[in-house]
Structure 1
Amino acid sequence: MKVTILGCYSATPRTFTNPTSQVLEINNHIFLIDCGEGTQVELRRNKVKFSRINHIFISHLHGDHFFGLVGLVSTFRMLNRENPLHIYGPKGIKEAITLQLKLSNSWTDYPLHFHELTNTDSELVFEDDKVIVKTIPLQHRIYCNGFLFQEKLGDRKLLISKVVNYDIDKAYYKSIKKGKDVVLPDGSVIPNTELTDDPAPAKSYAFCSDTRYDEDKISLLNDVTVLYHESTFLESHKHLCQRTGHSTAIEAATIAKKANAKNLILGHYSTRYGNIEHFREEASTVFENVVIGDDGKVFEF
């Protein structure tokens, strides 16, 4: 599982910082999460293949999280994209994007599918044979969702040395990896546990952007491999959180600790601060495995 931070600062783009956008690579998928201004430039800078992006998840309709989307949609068209593109986001995102495409006469030549979200409870929004994606309802100034990406358990690991000892035909290997026992010609049964090991633990990634401190979402985050949680303010500006709908670094760390997350990535820093290392220092007083997200950083788990 690999996370590439394209941008992780709040409010407006600056010369050396970008608003929120990131790429998650998990189980052979590449998901784009949020799409602030400059996203497509950062995709190129980080050598992410545009053609592999088939699903884009938008948390909410504040500009620093989706103003780069129409430009990326248009660029896909100019690159002669043929694959369908699926966009998941709050109700209104279809109108916002299609109006711009209409007025600029830039309709896509590829299938463009919008999945508009209105539910205030967690819901399943994507599933295939490898990954499921659920929403994480967040408490912001407007309707907002985070997203939980979860691998499905893979096949069991075949113990070749054990299989060879029983002279089992290769035709049965696939069913064995799926958990089936083996029946030998003499009728005896070899339990699957003698021929396989457990699959690698399934990884998970939770993206929690733009939210007040909210313990209601902890049940959705339990034991998550990696939690990205906004940390707009340091404790010195905690009084701004309720009004703006944001969190401090310590509040993000508290959520990670209570959810038993394995790792925490901080981001969405207010640009009033000169040194983002202070966010890690404050969060570390509550939660140990915390790292600073920053534009261009890549994390592999």
Structure 2
Amino acid sequence: MSFKVTILGTGAAVPTLSRGTTSQMINCQQRSILIDCGEATQIQMRKFKVKFQNVQLILISHLHGDHVFGLPGLISTMQLLGRKKALTIIGPKGIKAFLLTQFKIVGLYNGFPIHFSELDEKQEGIIFEDKCLKISTFPLKHRIPTHGYRIDEKPGKRRLNKQAFDQTGVSNSYIEKLLSGADIKDNSGVIVKSEDVTYPHKPTKSYAFCSDTAYHLPIINHIKNIDLLYHEATFIDKEGDRAVETYHSTAKQAAAIALKAKAKRLILGHFSARYKNMETHLEEAQTIFDSVFIPSDGEVFNI
């Protein structure tokens, strides 16, 4: 099954002609998960042919406008297009009031169920889980309560080694149990070990989203060995003082987090509009961590 990340917006604070504000679509195990929803996210979705009616879950990192101002409009459009299936929104305390107050003022009739799950400021651990994946949260370090997210695939079943299984002579009725990892003993007393007739499940993949945050070492415990890490890099090194003042990170700091967490790949984002290009961000990050990417809006990363 595919696990991919579509970067819908890479800019900070305000949208520009070349970069939208923060938003990403995660497609994993036939689940569609939107992370953050900056202004005009639905336009970005149309532009990059992302089907927003398929979104089942929305994760919001924090309540700054460049991460949530697109959410009321997106939900309104979902309703206008006839959506009926439920939507789950997970985010910091206040996300429910933020949305429902606007809906009340403008008289929006919500034609489909929205389930809210609000997080405590310091909450960490699993916040969503089904048979295919689990999502965990952890606190970031920003001016207001801000949450990072980690998405992990769950291991699937083992795969049958048909040639080895056929040689055992046991009934096909035992296959499911063997694929689950259990050993069996048939009615004739024949013992078959799962590992002898099955292949291990395919390796699971993982993705972590860290925006907005100052350089914050405690997050490393939550993103260890991540396959793909997104970490904000609002500034370059010479604006390090500004990063401290605003509780943001530099490209070098993002790279240092990736290195310490033993991430496999790093995506930078949340770039200040003061920069015309991100060459310096890339150069500075690569002095610390090799596998760094500067995404364009609409770019897709397969995990």
Same fold, TM-score > 0.5, yes or no? yes
Corresponding residue for residue 262 of structure 2: 260
Corresponding residue for residue 134 of structure 1: 136
* More displaced stretch, 230-239 vs 178-187: 178-187
Counterpart-to-counterpart distance in 1, 2:12 and 2:41: 14
Superimposed CA distance per residue, residues 80-128 of structure 1 (whole angstroms, 9 cap, x where no aligned partner): 1111111111111111111111111112110011111124131321111
Corresponding residue for residue 277 of structure 1: 279
Corresponding residue for residue 175 of structure 2: 173
Q: Secondary structure at 1:133's aligned position in 2?
A: strand
Taking only aligned residues, the RMSD between alpha carbons, in angstroms, comes to 1.2
Matched-pair contact (CA < 8 Å) for 2:38–2:71: yes
Counterpart-to-counterpart distance in 1, 2:81 and 2:173: 43
Matched-pair contact (CA < 8 Å) for 1:267–1:294: no
Q: Are residues 1:89 and 2:91 paired?
A: yes
Q: Are residues 1:250 and 2:252 paired?
A: yes
Shift of 1:188: 2.2
Q: Aligned AA for 2:139?
A: P
Q: Are residues 1:293 and 2:301 paired?
A: no
Q: Aligned AA for 1:122?
A: E
Q: Secondary structure at 2:282's aligned position in 1?
A: helix
How many pairs does the alignment contain? 301
Matched-pair contact (CA < 8 Å) for 1:7–1:22: yes
Matched-pair contact (CA < 8 Å) for 2:140–2:147: yes
Q: Aligned AA for 2:237?
A: E
Corresponding residue for residue 195 of structure 2: 193
Matches within 5 A, 1:35-74: 35-74=37-76
Counterpart-to-counterpart distance in 1, 2:242 and 2:302: 33
Matches within 5 A, 1:79-228: 79-228=81-230
Counterpart-to-counterpart distance in 2, 1:168 and 1:253: 53
Structure 1 segments of 4+ aligned residues over 3 angstroms from their partners: none
Matched-pair contact (CA < 8 Å) for 1:34–1:58: yes
TM-score by length of 2: 0.96
Q: Aligned AA for 2:169?
A: D
Q: Identity rate of aligned residues, in percent?
A: 43
Structure 2: 5+ residue runs without aligned partners?
A: none
* More displaced stretch, 291-300 vs 245-254: 291-300
Counterpart-to-counterpart distance in 1, 2:69 and 2:254: 25
Matched-pair contact (CA < 8 Å) for 2:16–2:273: no
Counterpart-to-counterpart distance in 1, 2:162 and 2:293: 39
